[in-house]
Structure 1
């Protein structure tokens, strides 16, 4: 019977790892569809961002209570799952609590600490579930989250609550069996949290306790493996991607827009025509801005997969607050949805086959892009270093520079800049007349 269980576990574990690895490879391929961009400068500053923003969640601490709860859920869930190593080895080798003889008296201390974290994860998830579904904070009831995104968040919270309950119940039943000296149940010593509930199992028979303990063990590890494979399809992929996304975050000052060398060269030649003879020739016409995900950088696409859908960007966006169509959260969700659609197209056809769709217009409307004030509030608020603004600017650059598609107010400003070197309708000769009138 034990050999059958070992074989079943190995098959389940291998299948889960294979499916997870396959999806991760697809996501990596999708991200690398973006344009190349070198973001390997200043590694010291980048590692600092990883520790402060990704693991330390520095930006979250603007609201200390929520930040602490989120840190318990985030760090607690990651650390608690270290125990999965023992569970996996137990499952493969047909053992039970393999590390008890190895760690000795340290074992109950370590697992007890895991239990405290599990209890904190459980409490944090319960509070977050209430905030989303009973208190209904404004950023959680936005139409951006209608349908799957809202359900996704609840599924994750419920799953984490169930997994922690199974973990603590398994340990409590295990301790009850240890106290009775049941074979194969090594004595661990009292565990900090589950030990409080062990007396509740005193009325059960040995067979029932074994069934409860084994049932919770299987449900817990199968739940973890299912969660592992659900993760790449969920917004909770940020649990993994927050770290590389923080590392590759822009180190440029907020508000400093990226110029295109090709545009700078044209402007320079316009101002100094005599340089045209020495200007480097190019066989290809430069492409301005972005129309589809292929035109964005790989960092933009990594941003899309890293989005937590928390809505802090949209809650801080002045355009969104005043009722405009723009929602930075939706920009990121739309980019990810389009990228996933492109990925499925490539998987089905071996290479991308034109589907007559683009990120611009089919997913993100012109009105959304034009509502942006480029204030950087969304970039400032994002806890995992995402820049919706960069995507907005690239899509807007395409509209203006590739399609000559701009509102009349913008067109007038462009003409003034071209003719007068300023946004205002004053010639350069007349620009200083106000000073002459004062002196006169």
Structure 2
């Protein structure tokens, strides 16, 4: 018996899954570069969010057309990939359709028939997605940030999915043993006439070729995920679990600022008092964020989860009125900078060396973050619970509290609050004068 194909298959499997595991390790390392944050609260609500949003696609279907098509692709890929288990067993042990030998013919036929119908539906849905993106040219797919790699990446994913579905159906259509069963060949029976008149040897070559290309394509697709916006296939589940569960309009307080305010309001507090014996001197915390290491690990997880669908940007009132802000770009820039930092660590033996760049300024401009109205439309629109607003707020905090670089209008307001106790330029005796204007 020739074991060479089995050995080659095992090597391909080890290389494919090994490279994937390596990239997952790198992904986790990059996310952990973020600041720690406590997300252990409301666990029951978090589980509900993950089940409803990630598994149930509840926010995806708010836009019925794209939502329905996405559900078809989502369900199709999950169920069709059950068949990958049979392919792996066949590849490792040299069997052929092992499940047909252990399952009743009717059950096996029902399974493969279901896979074929779903494969056809996935193919149709992906074609519609491609038409929407490239022929109809839906506006949110043609924003300024969607040029070059982001645009090509979206199409590459669609081509991958089309080819994988075609290979699955061709593999079944060229398999004479399977076709002779006349059970389960719901779609492939209409493709098999294309191969009529071919010799058994030619059909075997086509079937084996499609089989090999299908499994190798799946391994390539698996490893392509790390470099693609399609990481949300894996990360949507943890991202929705660790997403915000409090009121959307609620902003977090900086602990360092809270402590300082409490000290100012405490008449018995001595700001010059020596630290308690044995306590270490604390380095003042950085206010806000200027680079990815200043963000929390949840925010970095958000960046990797972004699927660049553009729903956030299409709902953003600042973007709709021509401002430079695009919430999608905020997430894409955060991910790009995080990847740059990760590569810096890779080439410097696990240590980050200052490269003279940062997220704020080199990737995201002040104009972008000050254009935000803090309305939360982007957060509400995201189908996988990504929070671009939280990143914008942290960068604003950095500009105000570390750089004193707020817009002149905001500085005037804060000066008035400090001096007059109100945003308006009236002294405390004249605070009600605004009523007469």
TM over 0.5: yes
| Alpha-carbon distance in 2 for matches of 1:370, 1:404 | 14
Match of 2:278 in 1: none
* C-alpha distance in structure 1 between counterparts of 2:416 and 2:159, whole Å: 57
Normalising by structure 1, report the TM-score. 0.93
In 2, Cα distance between equivalents of 1:135 and 1:202: 38
- In 1, are the aligned partners of 2:299 and 2:387 still within 8 Å (CA)? yes
Q: Is the 8 A contact 1:177 1:210 kept in 2?
A: no
- Residue 201 of structure 1 is matched in structure 2 by 195
- Tell whether 2:341 aligns with 1:342: yes
Q: Hey, what does 2:381 align to over in structure 1?
A: 381
Check if 1:256 corresponds to 2:250.
Answer: yes
Q: Report the CA distance shift for 1:99/1:375 in structure 2 as closer, same or farther (over 3 A).
A: same
Q: Distance in 1 between matches of 2:119 and 2:187?
A: 9
Is 2:318 aligned against 1:324?
no
- How far apart are the structure 2 equivalents of 1:336 and 1:161? 27
In the alignment, does 2:59 pair up with 1:88? no
Whether the 8 Å contact between 1:34 and 1:301 is mirrored in structure 2 is: yes
Task: Provide Cα deviations, 1:80-111, integer angstroms capped at 9, x if missing partner.
Answer: 11111110111011111111122212111111
CA drift at 1:416: 1.6
Q: Which residue of 2 aligns with 1:305?
A: 304
- Secondary structure (helix, strand or coil) at the match of 1:390 reads helix
Q: Find the aligned partners of 2:117 and 2:394 in 1 and give their Cα distance.
A: 47
Distance apart, 1:337 and its partner CA: 0.4
Aligned to 2:215: 221
Q: What are the superposed Cα offsets for residues 305-350 of structure 1, whole Å, 9 maximum, x if unpaired?
A: 0000011111111111111111111110000000001101111112
Query: Does the 8 Å CA contact 2:53/2:383 hold for their aligned counterparts?
Result: yes
Unaligned runs of 5+ in 1: 181-186
CA gap of 1:212–1:97, structure 2 versus 1, over 3 A, is same
Contact 1:2 1:94 in 2 (8 A): no
The offset of 1:277, in angstroms, is: 6.5
Aligned counterpart, 1:38:
38
Question: 2-side partners of 1:6 and 1:277: how far apart?
Answer: 73
Residue 375 of structure 1 aligns to a residue in which SS?
coil
Distance in 1 between residues matched to 2:50 and 2:273, nearest whole Å: 42
After superposition, residues 105-254 of structure 1 pair within 5 angstroms as: 105-174=106-175, 176-178=176-178, 187=181, 189-254=183-248
Q: Distance in 1 between matches of 2:273 and 2:54?
A: 44
How big is the shift at 1:151?
Answer: 0.2
Q: C-alpha displacement at 1:188, in angstroms?
A: 7.3
The equivalent of 1:284 in structure 2 is 283
Structure-2 separation of matches of 1:178 and 1:61: 37
Shift in CA distance, 164/397, structure 1 to aligned 2, threshold 3 Å: same
Measure the CA separation in 1 of the matches of 2:177 and 2:107.
Answer: 20
Q: Distance in 2 between matches of 1:301 and 1:388?
A: 11
The separation in 1 between residues aligned to 2:60 and 2:47, in whole angstroms, is 18
Compared with structure 1, are the counterparts of its residues 255 and 276 closer, same or farther at alpha carbon in structure 2 (3 Å cutoff)? Answer: farther
How far did 1:255 drift? 1.2
Change (3 A) 1:178 1:320: closer
State the secondary structure of the residue aligned to 1:99.
Answer: helix
Query: What does 1:368-407 correspond to in 2, within 5 Å?
Result: 368-407=368-407
Asked if 2 retains the 8 angstrom alpha-carbon contact of 1:100 and 1:188, the reply is no
Q: Displacement, 1:200?
A: 3.3
**Equivalences, count:** 429
* SS of corresponding position for 1:309: coil
Residue of structure 2 equivalent to 1:53: 53
CA contact (8 A) 2:113 2:183 kept: no
